[in-house]
Chain A
Amino acid sequence: MSAFLSYVLHGIAMGSSFALVASGLIIIYRVTRVVNLAQGTFAVFAAFTTSTLLGAGLPHGAAELLAVLVAGILGLLAGLVAVGKRGTSPQASLIATLGVAIFCYALEILIWGDQPRSFPGLAGSFELSGLELPKQYVVVVAATILVFALLEGFFEWTYAGKALTACASNPYAATLVGIGVVRMSLFGFMLGGALGGVAGVLLAPLSPMSYDSDLSLFVNGFASAILAGLKRPVFALVGGLIIGMAEALVAGYAKASYQSALALLLTLAILVVQGARRPVLQATEE
C-alpha cells in the first residue's frame, strides 16, 4: 500500500510538470494551430539557466523567476521564427519549431556541455503516513496550482485573455476588430515559453536534465494536451496528472523504461479514438 501511495505521489509531482508543458502547448496551438515541437526545450533551457544563476550566487526564487523569464523570451524568439511572418502555413511553422528545437540542442551543448545537470530544490523531506517524501514535491504541486489558477484568471477575467481566446476561436473576426493575430500568436509563444520554463525549474531538482530531455517532456506534455483535447489549458492539469500517475505506476510495478512507451501508446490510443469519433479530414468550422 505504501509503495502504491509513493508511486501515486511521485506521479502527481511528475504529472504537474507535464501539465505545465501541456498548457503551453495548448495555448500556442489554440492561437496558431501549430503544435510547438520546441515546447520541451523551454523547460530544459530554463533548468540550465537556473543552475547557472544559482552557481553565480543568486538566491532561490530569484534564479528560478529569472530563468522562467529567459524561457519566455526564448518562446518569443521561437514564435518569431515560426509564425512571425504573416501567412506562414501551420505546416511550415510546425517544421520551423522542430528547427528551433534542434538549434537549441546546439546552443545548450555549446553553453552547458552535454552532461546532465541538476540543482537542489527545497531541501529536506516530510513524512506522510509512514512515507519519506521530498519537500520539493510540495513546491512542485503548489507552484502548479498557483500557475493554473493564474492562467484561468487570465483567460476568464482579463481583456488580453479574451483577445487571445478571440484569436483562437475566429482569427478572421479578430482581424476585423483590429486584434493583430500575429502579435497575439507571438504573445501565445511567449506565454508558452514561460510555462515550459516553470515546468523545467520545478522538475530539474527531482530528476537531472540533459540537453535532450526535452523529447520526453514533449512526448509526455503532448500526451497530456491530447488527453485534454487541446482545448482549455486547465484540462491539461487533469491530463498531466493522469499521464504522470499512470507512468509512475508502470515504472513502479513493471519497469521504468516502459514510461515513455506508455505515454506514446496513450497518445496513439487517444488519437485513434478521437479520429474514429470525429473524421480527421474535416472541413474547418462549417
Chain B
Amino acid sequence: MNLIEIEELVVRYGSITALDGVSLSVSQGEMVALVGANGAGKSTLLRALSGVVRRAGGKVRIQGLFAHVPEGRQLFPDLTVEDNLRLGAFRSRERDTSWVYQLLPELERTRRQRAGTLSGGQQQMVAIGRGLMSRPDVLAIDEMSLGLAPLVVRQLARILAQLNQTRGLTVLLVEQSALVAFSLCTRGYVLETGKIVASGTTGELAQSSLVKDAYLGSVRKAAS
C-alpha cells in the first residue's frame, strides 16, 4: 500500500516554478531517499505534503499520518526539550513523552534544558522526537545530516533504521548528499530543478553516472 502518492505535482512561487510535474510514491514500511542539489525543490515537495504551500497542479495523496521534520530543525528554542516534544503531540493529544526518551536515550539528560542550547546533533534528535510525538505513519526528514559530524549522522541513521524495523515506520529522507541517504534507503529519487531525473533502487542509482557525478562526489570530471 502506498502511504504517499504524488502525481504530476506542480508548485509555483510567483513566476518561479519550484516543482514541475513531480511523481513519487512511498509505500508502507519503506525507506525512500529523495536526493537533489540546493534549490532543486526538495523542501518545496515536503511543504506541499504538509499542506503549507499551495499546489498549482497535480495530486497529492497521503494515507495515515504524515510528520515533517523541517530543514534546520526548526525547534522552539526558548522552550525546554520536554516542551518541544510535547508540542509535537498538539494534534494527537497523547502527550506522554517517555517512549521517545526510550528511543532517543541521549535526550533524557537534556529534558529540562532549553532546546536552543543543545548541540546540532541533539537538536536534530529533538526535531525527530517531536515529529515522532504525533505518532506518524510516515516521517519525512529534510536535510537531516546537514551541518552534523559524520559520527552523529551515523548515530541518527541507526536510530531511523531501528524505528523502521521495530515500529514499521515509513521514512522519506530528503538529502543533498546521496551518501547517507543511499546507505540507509532501499529506493530513491533524484530531483533536479523541479523535475525527477532518475529513480530506482539506491543500488542502481549509485551506479548511474548522473548520480555519481553530482551527488556522490566519487568521480572527478576533467581528469585529463
Partners in one complex: yes
Interface positions of A (Cβ within 8 A of B): 159, 162-163, 165-166, 169-170, 172-179
Say which residue of B74, B83, B95 sits within 8 Å of A176 (CB atoms).
Answer: B74
- For the complex, give the distance between the alpha carbons of A163 and B79 in Å: 10
In the complex the two chains form, is B75's CB within 8 Å of A165's CB? no
> Is A169 touching B83 in the complex (CB atoms < 8 A)?
no
- A interface SS class: helix
Summarize B's interface: helix, strand, loop or mixed.
loop
CB pair B76–A170 under 8 Å, yes or no, is: yes
- Give every chain A residue within 8 A of B74 (Cβ-Cβ): 170, 172-173, 176
Is the beta-carbon distance between B91 and A176 smaller than 8 angstroms?
Answer: no
Cβ A169 vs Cβ B68 within 8 A: no
Interface assignment of B87: CB less than 8 Å from any CB of chain A:
yes
**Does B188 sit at the interface, judged by CB under 8 A?**
no
A166 proximity list for chain B (CB < 8 A) = 76, 79, 83, 87
Tell me if B134 is interfacial: C-beta within 8 Å of chain A: yes
Given contacts A173-B76, A177-B91, 9 further A-B contacts (CB under 8 A): A163-B90, A165-B76, A166-B87, A169-B77, A172-B74, A173-B75, A174-B87, A175-B52, A176-B50
- A–B pairs, 19, beta carbons within 8 Å: A159-B86, A159-B95, A162-B79, A163-B90, A165-B78, A166-B76, A166-B83, A169-B76, A170-B77, A172-B70, A173-B74, A173-B75, A173-B76, A174-B87, A176-B70, A177-B88, A178-B91, A179-B87, A179-B90
Q: Which of A162, A170, A179 contacts B75 (CB 8 A)?
A: A170
User: How far apart sit A172 and B72, CA to CA, in the bound complex (Å)?
Assistant: 12
CB distance from A73 to the nearest CB of B (A): 26
Neighbouring A residues of B195 by C-beta, 8 Å: none
Number of residues on chain B facing chain A (CB within 8 A): 19
In the complex, residue of chain B having the shortest beta-carbon distance to the beta carbon of A161? B83
CB–CB A163/B75 < 8 A: no
Interface residues in chain B, defined as those with a beta carbon under 8 Å from any beta carbon in chain A = 50, 52, 68, 70, 74-79, 83, 86-88, 90-91, 95, 130, 134
Contact across chains for B76 and A178 when beta carbons are under 8 A apart: no
Task: Quote the shortest CB–CB distance from A139 to chain B (angstroms).
Answer: 34
Is there an interface contact between B90 and A165, defined as CB atoms closer than 8 Å?
A: no
Known A162-B83, A166-B79, A169-B78; contact A177-B70, beta-carbon cutoff 8 A: no
Contacts of A173 in B (CB 8 A): 70, 74-76
Q: Which residues of B contact A174 (CB under 8 A)?
A: 76, 87
B50: chain A residues at CB < 8 Å are 176
Chain B residues with CB under 8 Å of A163's CB are: 87, 90
Residues of A within 8 A of B52 (CB): 172, 175-176
Bound-state CA distance A170–B90 (Å) is: 15
Query: What is the distance, in angstroms, from A16's C-beta to the closest C-beta of chain B?
Result: 27
Cβ–Cβ < 8 Å partners of A162 in chain B: 79, 83, 86-87
- Write the nearest CB–CB distance from A161 to chain B, whole angstroms: 10
Nearest CB in chain B: distance from A112 CB, A: 42
Q: How far is the CB of A160 from the nearest CB of chain B, in Å?
A: 10
Q: How far, in whole Å, are A170 and B84 apart by their CA atoms in the complex?
A: 11
What residues of B have a CB within 8 angstroms of the CB of A159 in the complex? 86, 95
Q: Complex formed: what's the CA distance from A228 to B187 in Å?
A: 53
Residue in B86, B87, B95 whose Cβ sees the most chain A Cβ within 10 Å: B87
* Alpha-carbon distance between A172 and B87 when the two chains are bound, in angstroms: 13
Q: How far is the CA of A156 from the CA of B220 in the complex (A)?
A: 55
A42 CA to B50 CA in the complex, in Å? 38
Question: Are B79 and A165 in contact (CB-based, < 8 A)?
Answer: yes
Given B77, B78, B90, B95, which contacts A177 in the complex, CB threshold below 8 Å? B90
For the complex, what is the distance from the CA of A179 to the CA of B68, rounded to whole Å? 14
CA distance A174 to B83 in the complex (A): 12
Tell me, in angstroms, the Cα distance from A123 to B156 when the chains sit together: 67
How far apart are A221's CB and chain B's nearest CB, in angstroms? 23
Which A residues are CB-close (under 8 A) to B70?
172-173, 176
Given contacts A166-B87, A172-B70, contact A177 B75 (CB under 8 A): no
Taking the closest CB of chain A, its distance from the CB of B77, in whole angstroms, is: 6
